[in-house]
Amino acid sequence: MNQIDRLRRRFADEMGGAANESVGLHETRRMRHEVRRRTLTVSRIEHLTPRMMRVHFISPELADFASAAPDDHVKLFFPQAGRIDGKPVMRDFTPRAFDRAAGRLTIDFALHENGPATEWAANAKVGDRLDIGGPRGSQIVPDDFDWYLLIGDESALPAIGRRVEELRAGAPVTTLIAIVHPYEEQRFKTQAVWTPIWLHRGEPNKGDADLLRDRLADFTPPPGDGFIWIAGEAAIVRTLRAHMIEERHHPKAWVKAAGYWQRGKADAHVEIGD
Ligand SMILES: Cc1cc2nc3c(=O)[nH]c(=O)nc-3n(C[C@H](O)[C@H](O)[C@H](O)COP(=O)(O)OP(=O)(O)OC[C@H]3O[C@@H](n4cnc5c(N)ncnc54)[C@H](O)[C@@H]3O)c2cc1C
């Protein structure tokens, strides 16, 4: 069996025995999940860093929860006392970790100036309840690339951390993450070969794209095929994606980019492509 067949077989095996010849090298798979609304209870709160709150939720309703990819997202429903229609507002968050046996879901909240999610997290206490919906689906990027480059800001840190932790042993992965201050740096336990690059840029700024691009100038891709993932403020993500494809000539199919928020706009999830 040659190297490509071996990788194909291993990926198919990891997909839960769905081994078949149609699974190609570097092929992203989509998985749909039954969409359900669940009510969770806060069981523990950790102040990971001054700006990052880790909230652990428990619920028997998590028994059939599934999250197959590190950049999955759930909708969180925040009740709004003053709202005339009485409807909660929704925001997207990454299932940072899920422990089925314990019935526990973990979500990391990057605190920023304002917004219902930030305000809820900053005031959360054990026993609080919150409704979630989803994930609706997962896009599973195969663990068969020769290297990975993950770029983002605080909002993308949970998805980046989860991907770094879930990568196969020995896989080279570089992360480039813009944060306010060195005290926002995080450590991830991983068997991958992880090279973190932290950009200490102060508060998020329009010029962050240039700063990140400058730091990328020092990045020499390892040999072989690489997967690049970019998420954060939408305009910055768009600039960096274009840079990697048009100036660094990285194959478009191996770049995944998403705007996780938009400057001056509430609740903005922007898929970024052509
Ligand atoms: C797929 C996906 C997964 C995500 N996962 C996470 C996650 O795990 N953890 C996480 O913290 N965020 C995550 N985000 C980002 C999060 O959904 C947004 O930051 C969201 O806008 C926060 O809601 P809010 O109510 O606090 O602020 P909003 O009411 O949406 O916005 C209020 C103001 O704050 C600004 N703003 C919003 N987000 C940020 C930010 N991160 N930094 C600075 N200013 C901001 C807006 O431009 C607006 O002016 C994810 C987004 C997506 C699309």
Least confident of 8-17, 28-37, 165-174: 8-17
Determine the distance separating the centroid of ligand 1 and the alpha carbon of 93, expressed in angstroms: 8
Determine the distance separating the centroid of ligand 1 and the alpha carbon of 237, expressed in angstroms: 14
**161 pLDDT higher than 90:** yes
d(C-alpha 123, C-alpha 32), whole Å: 33
The pocket around ligand 1, CB under 6 angstroms, is made up of 73, 91-94, 108-110, 112-118, 154-155, 158, 204, 260-267, 269
C-beta of residue 262 within 8 angstroms of C-beta of residue 233: yes
Q: Could you tell me which of 265, 266, 262, 258 has the C-alpha nearest to residue 94? A: 258
**74 pLDDT higher than 50:** yes
For residue 7, the tally of other CB atoms under 10 A from its CB is 18
C-beta of residue 194 within 8 angstroms of C-beta of residue 175: yes
On the 0-12 / 13-18 / 19+ scale of CB atoms within 10 A, 219 is middle
Percent of the chain whose predicted confidence (pLDDT) is above 90: 85
C-beta of residue 152 within 8 angstroms of C-beta of residue 159: yes
Protein residue closest via CA to atom 27 of ligand 1: 115
The mean predicted confidence, pLDDT, of the chain is: 92
Protein residue closest via CA to atom 24 of ligand 1: 115
Rounded to 5 degrees, φ, ψ at 130 are -150, 140
Question: Cα dihedral angle (230, 231, 232, 235), rounded to 10 degrees?
Answer: 70
**165 pLDDT higher than 60:** yes
Protein residue closest via CA to atom 52 of ligand 1: 260
d(C-alpha 33, C-alpha 12), whole Å: 19
Tokens of residue 257, six digits: 């980019």
Task: Determine the pLDDT at residue 86.
Answer: 78
Peptide bond into 135 cis (omega under 30): yes
Q: Can you tell me which atom of ligand 1 is nearest the CA of 154?
A: 41
d(C-alpha 120, C-alpha 127), whole Å: 13
Determine the distance separating the centroid of ligand 1 and the alpha carbon of 188, expressed in angstroms: 22
Rounded to 5 degrees, φ, ψ at 30 are -105, 135
Residue type, 256: K
C-beta of residue 163 within 8 angstroms of C-beta of residue 150: yes
Task: Determine the pLDDT at residue 7.
Answer: 52
d(C-alpha 71, C-alpha 67), whole Å: 9
Domains, in order of start, for the chain: 1-28 (no CATH), 33-137 (2.40.30.10), 141-272 (3.40.50.80)
For residue 207, the tally of other CB atoms under 10 A from its CB is 10
Question: In testing the pocket of ligand 1, which one of 96, 260, 270, 272 has its CB within 8 Å of the most ligand atoms?
Answer: 260
What DSSP assignment string belongs to 31-58?
A: EE----EEEEEEEEEEEEETTEEEEEEE
- The pTM assigned to this predicted structure is 0.92
For 84-125, the pLDDT digits (tens) are 777 899 999 999 999 999 999 999 999 999 999 999 999 999
Tokens of residue 58, six digits: 């428990």
SS3 label, residue 158: helix
Question: In testing the pocket of ligand 1, which one of 118, 261, 263, 269 has its CB within 8 Å of the most ligand atoms?
Answer: 261
Tokens of residue 185, six digits: 């740096």
Rounded to 5 degrees, φ, ψ at 14 are -70, -20
Task: Determine the pLDDT at residue 127.
Answer: 98
Protein residue closest via CA to atom 20 of ligand 1: 267
Determine the distance separating the centroid of ligand 1 and the alpha carbon of 239, expressed in angstroms: 19
**256 pLDDT higher than 50:** yes
**16 pLDDT higher than 50:** no
**18 pLDDT higher than 80:** no
Per DSSP bridges, beta strands 104-110 and 97-99 are: antiparallel
